[in-house]
Structure 1
């Protein structure tokens, strides 16, 4: 069965578009086409859109194959085909209606096409006529144009030839002048003006290059001679520059640079010079650490005694190789100094000399300056005052980042090479590593002297120095690895010695005096090796500080403790003798190191201060318990003073010249201490040592303790005063002979000497006595209780304390706090007097108030300072 005729989807879509298109402005009424549009508006498309079959044809994504497939599978293909035929007939009917309704408009459009075709025929005829006219004009103009072009070319050639003749003539004249100038210089070299000759040479070159005079036989002959002359000028100028750089002669450098500037080769020449000196410096660094060359120079070859693969000389040539290495290092430092100062001379001349008219420095011609604060220093730090327009006339490159100075470029290359060679020598050659590590102070001195010499030789007012602080630091950093190895070696040597005299396996080992002396000598040798190198010396002192702390730690570990180390009644025990020895060793180290440090700068003292303080503390710790035990013994003897009756009256008591029992015991104790302990601790020379200071402190404490408790004695009769005076004399004798010279004790001794006559003064004489100036106010106030009536109780009596308890309280209080306790007893006394109705107080009461008031005023003034 034949398939039904299906209307193409494009036709339906066009009709749908036509239908759905919204109406524009109304057409003119006279148009027949427009008048029929209203009738057509009711088309079958409206019914098609609502029909389930035809609506598919209006869809933009209509697929005919899919539509047919659905129709065939719906079991109604025949009815569907008939339905489509009806639709086609309706559409054809609609098309006929549309054509008929628009018949007039279509005829009108056809008439317009005929008119357009007639107009186009007329235009074609005009264009053909115009083309014919243009061909006639072209034939008439072509010949004159050809003749004009030929004459123009002929005139241009004439002008070019005339220019060539003119510039050739000028070049030959300039060459003649240059020949005459060079001829004079050949006969009289001293009269040859290299700068002028270079300027003329450059002019001739520019004439030749800019005007393309190549190929002219006369010119070519001159150019050949000009090339030879230019080489001669460059050679003479380079010799002048290098001579000036080597001999520090700015005039020679300036003359040579002027030649190259006139030749237009200033920057390239300076770059070549910089590269040359850079290469010389780098080569000298490489040669300094070339172990093969060192071995060859010391052994005459690579046979027996030559260098091994590891860079270590064979047996028998190590010393000579080491000396050769140091000699080469010295030569290297000299070469580096020569290179840097030479480049600085070149840079200085470039910065001082300026281009005429523009006033731009030559340095700016070879160094792209960035105008920051640093570059302005370069341009302004010259002796000659800059003309006012100089800054405006200096060309500034907008994208210049600032090239390094010439000296910085050379120094950077030298430091880079030096650092690389040092690292290589440190890792690849055990011999060089050992020599430079052990002799690091010498290596450091070489580098330091190099930097110092360069700084001094380039320290010129108004000119930048050759090296910046950063550049100097880079050179020092290059040898840091040897510094680290040297410090580690120093620490290892000293630490190993400390470990050898204090083995960790045994606790009871005590070093000998000879071992201590050798250790001190080793330390002093390490310091002496770096004494002249400030920064290095401080680093070495840090290592010595570590070693001294280690020694103090090991010594502290050896100190004996316990009752055996604190006993004071019998002879010195072995534990005490061991502590004495350790204390003396520490004293010797402390004394010698303090003396050594006293000759060094303050910073050196600060570095060793922690270790010396630790040594001092350990030395004190070794005997502190013994000294405290001796002092406790002497204080216990003095406390027995309160068991003595100083209030007894009678002639027998006054005539008794025997010392008190407590004083006799104290004297025996000091004699025992002197013979058994102090004689072994204190040197016979009476020098100021740690033990000497401890003994001095103990002696001062004994005098102060005695005066305190003597002032607390109550009652004190006239006979008691005499006994007290005898006891004080005995105390002075015992302390001075057995402990420490009393006249060197200062304030405690003056207080003892003053207290003796004070006890014999009348109460009315006390207030104006100059003896009170040497006594603490608390001592005077406590003594006055012995002169006061019984109802004026002392703080000791008021608080019901033992002399020892009250003494301990006094140790922890100041004079103002003591006065507060005394003032409380005075207030109690005044209250008792008022209670009894009495109107007069004891003279002692008024005197104590007066002394206390002055004490308060003095304390207040001290606090406000």
Structure 2
């Protein structure tokens, strides 16, 4: 069609509707009639038809030759179709002849095949019937053979079951009577096998147990029977547990109203407890006996093998995902104990109180049970990995095993691998509620006396008699818990908390103001109170320490308590330390008076012979004697006081030698006076320490320093003690006393006092820093000498330079030695 004509129809609304593929003539006619424009529509349609006729005529004229050629092709196609039709008819005739030749033989073959199949089925049924009759007669003979033929009878029954299940033998009258007889025989065999198995477990006869297991294995009921055995044993134990925990089982109880718990009469409480513990002892015995029976069963399962597959019975169970016998049984035992104990104690408060208050006794029964079972615990002589299908198994009691052990001769429990359930802990955890309650009560028993002795208004610590009560309570708690290591550790933690609580209470009583550290007058009330508190803490520490070391307690228990004791002793040290520091400051102030003494004047021999020690030495002697007699003698912690006094004595000697080295100038009479002071200082320090020889380096410095007073500088330079027992800076400070007056001492060059210089030395423990200050002062003096007219250095200055050089080389030598030692360690 010409595009113009087509476009004209598309743009005309009257013709546009006819181009729609979903055009409905009836709908169009209804619309025209409804619009009452029929004449106009007919005219429009007539004009459109004329237009189409003209367009068709023009198309025919334009394609006249093509239309003629298409008409010729249609005639040829009709000829081809006729030829194909004739060939199809011929083919149908041929297929019909072939069908007649195939159908009859096929029907004959199908008939013969059905006959053959029926013959085979009949033969199979006859063979099964013959085999059933034979096995039935053989079963009769085996049943007459007793226990020896029991496993063979079970095997015959197994084969009979296979025959009945593999073939439909219903409605065969010949074997109907045999079928009933077989069912009776099955029941008889199962009952007899169960009796043999049960008797073997009770008597621990592995042969009988093996016979029973083999019978049920042959009957394909091994797993089912094991479940029944475990269930029956657990039910018996559950009944025994319920009976033991039932208050009515024990001594006659008084009548109570409905809804009230059964309670023992007041006069029968003790007898009720005795009966309860006897029942618990019997219960533990029943659990033990049942565990041993289960162990025998499991041992046989590990040893017994299927004669056909040669696999152990246990492996056949494990490959189906079932746990071992002991795993299943022990889990149920733990569940029964946990559940029944919880239920019984909820229903009867007296029973709950008995178990909580006498928990160590209850725990002892459990520990005795486990100690009896422990000899049967697993002894894995050899571990071999077994692959069953696509799953690895072990010998774990409480889970599907991953490895299979070669069992020892007395194996009951297979200790689990890491992160798996521990049978002993599982048994212990069934008592966790009672243990927690007992520990809470124990802590309360330990805390109550302390809280009673320390009310909010307390100003004094408890008396010795009251502390003795705390000591007895601690001893009683530890002794009661000694039946079990784990319980002992828990009680030991409570004891540690008790000691820390007591120390916390005492700490609030300690006075820390100035009255507690005054040393000028008699002891104040604050100092007396502190001494009483310290003695109270020390008494408790020594008492508890005596308890834990004199008793037969595990080392772990002692290790738990000792840190708390040590913490209390440290608290004592902290309480005594302010007083010792005050002593140290007072003695240091007395030592500073050495610089007010006259060591430069010369005296005659008579004056020297009559001379006494310096006055500050006498002050120190009087002070130390008074403090030790009036203050420290009231403290019972002699070891702690001696330790702190030894440190104080060492500090006093160190300060004394330091300030002696700063004295300048010193005459010959002054040297003798210093020597006398040193001798008297030894006596003064000896009165406050245990042994002077235990003071260490400070006492060695004192002993080595005294000869320096009378030695020449050259002798001092060659002294073997220089750099070893005598520090270089100390000797150099002393040599300033022999130096020219123009050479100022290091502290004067820095414009310090003797006290400030001593404090600087304390704050700079590195000797190189101390020597650096001395070197600076010495270098300044040497520089001033070089610029003066007299450029010759005094001999003492040369000696001091050599000592500084020796100190530097000594320090480098130690540094090199340290490097070589480290390198040798690395080489090794």
The two structures share one fold, judged by TM-score above 0.5:
yes
Structure 1 segment 48-63 matched on structure 2, within 5 A: 49=10, 51-62=12-23
1:33-44 paired onto structure 2 within 5 Å: none
Is 1:717 aligned with 2:672?
no
1:460 aligns to what? 379
Contact 1:304 1:314 in 2 (8 A): no
Cα distance 1:54–1:414, how it changes in 2: closer, same or farther (>3 A)?
A: same
Q: Give, in whole Å, the separation in 1 of the partners of 2:23 and 2:324.
A: 81
| Partner SS, residue 299 of structure 1 | coil
Q: Decide which of 620, 624, 639 is 2:577's aligned counterpart.
A: 624
Give 1:655 shift.
1.0
Aligned to 1:736: 686
Q: Report the alpha carbon displacement of residue 750 of structure 1 after superposing the two structures with TM.
A: 4.1
CA distance in structure 2 between the partners assigned to 1:657 and 1:42 by the alignment: 151
Match of 1:647 in 2: 600
Question: 1:75-86 alignment to 2 at 5 Å?
Answer: 76=37, 78-84=39-45
Q: 1:253 maps to what in 2?
A: 209
Q: Is the 8 A contact 2:600 2:666 kept in 1?
A: yes
1:273 corresponds in structure 2 to 229
Q: Pairwise mapping of residues 103-114 of structure 1 onto structure 2 (< 5 A)? A: none
Contact residue 481 and residue 487 of structure 2 kept, 8 A: yes
How many angstroms apart in 1 are the aligned matches of 2:4 and 2:760? 129
2:746/2:773 contact within 8 Å kept = yes
Matches within 5 A, 1:114-193: 167-183=128-144, 185=145, 192-193=148-149
Report the counterpart of residue 194 of structure 2 in structure 1.
238
User: In the superposition, relative to structure 1, how do residues 95 and 283 fare at CA in structure 2: closer, same or farther (>3 Å)?
Assistant: farther
Aligned to 2:528, the other structure's residue is in SS state: helix
Match of 2:619 in 1: 665
User: Aligned partners of 1:165, 1:75: CA distance in 2, in Å?
Assistant: 96
* Separation of aligned partners in 1, 2:51 and 2:742: 151
Distance in 2 of aligned mates of 1:304 and 1:751:
89
Distance in 2 separating the partners of 1:710 and 1:721: 10
**Residue equivalent to 2:314:** 363
Is this contact kept in 2: 1:682–1:692, CA < 8 A? no
**TM-superposition CA deviations, 1:775-816 (whole Å, max 9, x none):** 444444433433445455432343332221122122222233
Unpaired stretches in structure 1, ≥5 consecutive residues: 1-18, 20-40, 370-401
Q: What displacement does 1:628 show?
A: 1.8
Residue by residue over 1:150-192, the C-alpha shift from the partner in whole angstroms, topping out at 9 and shown as x without a partner, is x999998887777666555544554555544554x45xx6xx2
Aligned to 2:154, the other structure's residue is in SS state: helix
Deviation of residue 208 (structure 1)?
5.5
CA distance in structure 1 between the aligned counterparts of 2:55 and 2:740, rounded to whole angstroms: 154
> Partners in 2 of 1:95 and 1:857 — Cα distance?
126
Give the root-mean-square deviation of aligned CA atoms.
4.9
2:632 counterpart of 1:678: yes
Q: Is contact 2:728–2:803 with CA below 8 Å preserved after alignment?
A: no
Of residues 376, 397, 406 in structure 1, which corresponds to 2:325? 406
Report the Cα offset of residue 501 of structure 1.
1.7
Distance 2:714 2:9 in 1: 147
2:388 aligns with none
* Residues 211, 403 of structure 1: alpha-carbon distance in 2 compared, 3 angstrom cutoff: closer
State the match for 1:508 in structure 2: 459
Deviates more, 1:552-561 or 1:357-366: 357-366
Does 670-679 or 472-481 show the bigger shift?
A: 472-481
Structure 2 vs 1, CA of residues 568 and 829 (structure 1 numbering), >3 Å: closer, same or farther?
A: same
CA–CA distance in structure 2, aligned partners of residues 279 and 420 of structure 1: 13
Equivalent residue runs for 1:787-806 within 5 Å: 787-806=738-757
Aligned to 2:502: 551
Q: Does 1:202 align with 2:158?
A: yes
| 1:783 maps onto 2:734 in alignment | yes
Contact kept? 1:270, 1:366, Cα under 8 Å: no
Match in the other structure for 1:471: 421
Summarize the Cα distance change of 1:636–1:267 in structure 2 as closer, same or farther, 3 Å threshold. same
| Distance in 2 (alpha carbons) for counterparts of 1:249 and 1:406 | 17
Write the distance in 2 (CA, Å) between the matches of 1:419 and 1:578. Answer: 53
From 337, 346, 350, the equivalent of 1:431 is 350
Deviation of the 1:45 alpha carbon: 8.1
Q: Distance in 2 between matches of 1:414 and 1:447?
A: 13
2:495 and 2:149 map into 1 onto residues whose CA distance is: 67
In structure 2, C-alpha distance between the alignment counterparts of 1:165 and 1:265, rounded to whole Å: 29
Q: In the TM superposition, what whole-angstrom CA distance separates every residue of 1:309-342 from its partner, at most 9, and x where no partner exists?
A: 3465453444444444444444444444444454
CA distance 1:714–1:219, shift in 2 (3 Å): same
1:227-247 Cα deviation digits (max 9, x unpaired): 555445434443443344445
Tell which deviates more after alignment, 665-674 or 352-361. 352-361
Structure 2: distance between partners of 1:776 and 1:45: 126
Q: Secondary structure at the match of 1:511?
A: coil
Give the Å deviation of 1:593: 4.3
Indicate how the Cα distance of structure 1 residues 166 and 70 shifts in structure 2: closer, same or farther if over 3 A, else same. Answer: closer
Please identify, of 648-657 and 631-640, the stretch whose mean Cα deviation from structure 2 is larger.
Answer: 648-657
Secondary structure at the aligned position of 1:646 is classed as: coil
> Compared with structure 1, are the counterparts of its residues 541 and 859 closer, same or farther at alpha carbon in structure 2 (3 Å cutoff)?
farther
Q: CA 1:705/1:268 → structure 2, altered by over 3 Å: closer, same or farther? A: same
CA distance in 1: counterparts of 2:777 and 2:6, whole angstroms: 133
**Which ranges in structure 2 are unaligned for 5 or more consecutive residues?**
384-394, 396-412, 823-828
Q: 1:49–1:58: 8 Å Cα contact kept in structure 2? A: yes
Question: Distance between the aligned counterparts of 1:847 and 1:588, measured in 2?
Answer: 57
Contact 1:341 / 1:458 at 8 angstroms: preserved in 2? Answer: no
Secondary structure of the residue aligned to 1:558 is: coil
Q: Alpha carbons of 1:49 and 1:169: their partners in 2 closer, same or farther (altered >3 Å)? A: closer
Structure 1 residues 79 and 166: CA distance shift in structure 2, 3 A: closer
Find the counterpart in structure 2 of residue 486 from structure 1: 438
Structure 2 counterpart SS, 1:419: helix
Superposed CA deviations along residues 447-467 of structure 1, whole A, max 9, x for unmatched, are: 455556545412222473434
User: Residues 559 and 862 of structure 1: is their aligned pair in 2 closer, same or farther, counting only changes over 3 Å?
Assistant: farther
Q: What is aligned with 2:652?
A: 702
Is the 8 Å Cα contact of residues 10 and 19 (structure 2) preserved in structure 1? yes
- The count of aligned residue pairs is 775
Q: Deviations over 1:100-152 (max 9, x none)?
A: x999999x999x99x999x999x99x999x99x999x99x999x989x97x99
Distance between the aligned counterparts of 1:437 and 1:89, measured in 2?
117
Q: 1:155 to 1:812 in 2, by over 3 A?
A: closer
| C-alpha deviation, 1:564, in angstroms | 1.6
Are 2:202 and 2:293, in contact at CA under 8 Å, matched by a contact in 1? yes
Picking from 511, 531, 555, the partner of 1:560 is: 511
Q: Which residue of 2 aligns with 1:656?
A: 610
CA distance in 1, matches of 2:749, 2:554: 58
Aligned to 1:589: 540
Q: Secondary structure at the match of 1:433?
A: helix
C-alpha distance in structure 2 between counterparts of 1:73 and 1:858, whole Å: 130
Q: CA deviation at 1:559?
A: 1.3
**Alignment match of 2:337 (pick from 400, 418, 441):** 418
The partner residue of 2:491 within 506, 531, 540 is 540
SS in 2 for 1:659: coil
Number of the residue aligned with 2:587: 634
- Report if aligned partners of 2:717, 2:803 keep a CA contact under 8 Å in 1: no
Report the Cα offset of residue 666 of structure 1.
1.4
Query: Structure 1 residues 627, 96: CA separation in 2 closer, same or farther (over 3 Å shift)?
Result: closer
TM-score with structure 1 length normalisation? 0.75
Residue 572 of structure 1 and its aligned partner are, at CA, apart by 0.6
Spell out, residue by residue over 1:274-308, the C-alpha distance to the aligned partner (whole angstroms, 9 max, x if none).
333343444445445x3xx2x223223x5348997
Distance 1:750 1:307 in 2: 88
Structure 1 residues 297 and 280: CA distance shift in structure 2, 3 A:
closer
